[in-house]
Amino acid sequence: MIEIEIIDRVGESCSQRFEGDELLIGRASEADLILEKAGISKRHARIWRSGDRFLIADLESTNGTFLNSKRLRSVAALAPCDRVYVGEFILRIRSLG
């Protein structure tokens, strides 16, 4: 399970919980977390469980995915309170488990 706080560019936020071991982020209808805004690719980023940790990777998105303000160039491990920047959204990792 992963809980994410989704913050838009004006500061409004909501939290969502996702069950399972994988989360697809993007504009596509098959995405688990659909973000329908400019700057978001159809298949933008992926979060998945590997053993006892969660990993994130950019899926060759046009505008990139940033983890704590650093552009993802390879797979990275996630920790609670990390911030993932996708287009105009900030995804704050609230809990992993």
State the Cα–Cα distance between residues 36 and 61, nearest whole angstrom. 14
pTM: 0.93
Domain boundaries, the chain: 2-95
| Helix boundaries (H) for the chain | none
Question: Which residue type sits at 5?
Answer: E
Q: Which CATH architecture has domain 2-95?
A: Sandwich (2.60)
Q: Which residue, chain included where needed, has tokens 């996702």?
A: 18
| Residue percentage of the chain with pLDDT more than 70 | 100
pLDDT in tens, 68-85: 999 999 999 999 999 999
Q: How many CA atoms within 13 Å lie on the side-chain side of 6?
A: 14
